[in-house]
Homo-oligomer: A and B are copies of this chain.
């Protein structure tokens, strides 16, 4: 062993001990004949003191930043103590040292506030990983996985590995494929998730399965997506939705306790998908703050069961064409902002007009602290009418009411974004506050206008809610009139699915699964799959359902994102040791890369030269 102690271990109790440390040179400070070196390792930093006697040695073997040093010496009390450091009361009075390895000058500083840009740090990721901040992220990641494993183990879950070289059955996302050398012209696929395998394990009787496992999706990457990512993947048999919610509420609370020291004692709130969309415009609402959406107008057949709650009088006949023509009108009341200047409201109007939001404009009503009301639509609405609207929005004096009008889908999305933006501006989305939420009862299907058919919102193995199974079985999935797809009975079928949301991010999702062969076949056919195609792709699962499949369900957590949120970051990349960039490249390895003709020939594949 090159060391007797780590650089984080020594303190005042160790004074007088002869020790050997090994680590990296963080800083070098010379004071006359004396040299101080901060030696760093994974565990901390210890100050080394090189006295006059070592000067000749230091001249012959000069040391620099990031050199790997082994130093022998005696622990001494420091005159100039640093009580912020666990080792700050001592230093090691060096008697001899060895340079274990030299270092070129790093391309950026190894510090929290490094001078290295993103690209440089990715290229030299092995140096970036030395920064305390990145180290803390990976430590947090390990702590989360350790906590999850312990909880799941204590609850009888078994870690069972599922294969990585499987069959390509693209549903939604694209598969990465792997050419098989031994089976010419054939390909394996990398799993998008172990979904079917964990269901097979339930059929096999392993009633509590888990795995922390890599998954792969060949998608066009958005800023915060990776082609390979990690899931905490779980499945249980003989359970209903409530059992799963309870079990994984326990898991997330355990993680909060173990990793953040937070006792999240409150029960996790539950909200239906309909309510989430209605009140927040979003199926993963950030519930750290209220500022709920007021629905002033919605189109027919959307939220049909709650349209009666809209006070129609508020936006009634006023001659204001924007409101009259809009399919949907939604509003929020932003507390304490009634005194916004023209400049400020103009800026907000520009904000909603950006392409990412895509609205044509923004209507505002200032409900002053004195009870007076001013608005951008004074021409069309009397103060009394404006007051009716303000009441409909449940605004209070001092609120700034923001109103968006337009298409249902875009407007709802926009009001959600606006709500989040205002929450952020008002400091209502606190980094150290964590608010969990279960979102339940998602629609089972989404309508695909291009193909005029249903697609699975979650995946084809999600069961309808028990009360909706009959609807699914007894109606044809065929949509006769595309214009009236919302009137099709499938449009209102709810999935027995659930998402766990943390601070406005989906961190996990799952469902009770279909476990009956006939219902699974009906689902495949509802998604436009022929019997032959279903058999080719999922014959093994349909087969398994013939031999005593138990009722089962599960959940998968996005491990990278969960870690990022717990670590207070927006970027999952900061929590992955060797991430890829937005083009799916590992710039450190320079991968992907060409392979040689010999490899291609062995795999019996060739590169197409033509442009796609």
Contact = CB atoms under 8 A, between A and B. Distances in A.
Interface in A295-330: none
A3 B221 CA distance: 44
B188 A540 contact: no
B546 A104 contact: yes
Contact of A608 (B130, B589, B601): B601
Interface in A584-604: 584-586, 588-595, 599, 601-604
Contacts of A67: 548
A516 interface: yes
A264 interface: no
Interface string A222-264: 0000011010000000111001000000000000000000000
Given A106-B547, A185-B594, 17 more contacts: A2-B551, A22-B238, A41-B205, A42-B205, A125-B200, A146-B159, A164-B164, A167-B589, A168-B593, A176-B178, A177-B178, A182-B583, A187-B594, A601-B608, A604-B607, A605-B607, A605-B608
Contacts of A205: 23-24, 40-42, 129-130, 135
A139 interface: yes
Given A227-B165, A548-B102, A601-B608, A592 B180 contact: yes
Interface string A153-172: 10000111111111110100
B204 A163 contact: no
Nearest to A204: B129
Interface in A1-57: 1-3, 22-25, 40-42
A160 B240 contact: no
Interface of A: 1-3, 22-25, 40-42, 66-68, 100-104, 106, 124-127, 129-130, 135, 138-139, 141-142, 145-146, 149, 153, 158-168, 170, 174-190, 197, 200-201, 203-207, 214, 216, 218, 220-221, 227-228, 230, 238-240, 243, 515-516, 539-540, 543-551, 576-578, 580, 583-586, 588-595, 599, 601-608, 612
A427 B190 CA distance: 45
B204 A240 contact: no
A543 B162 CA distance: 36
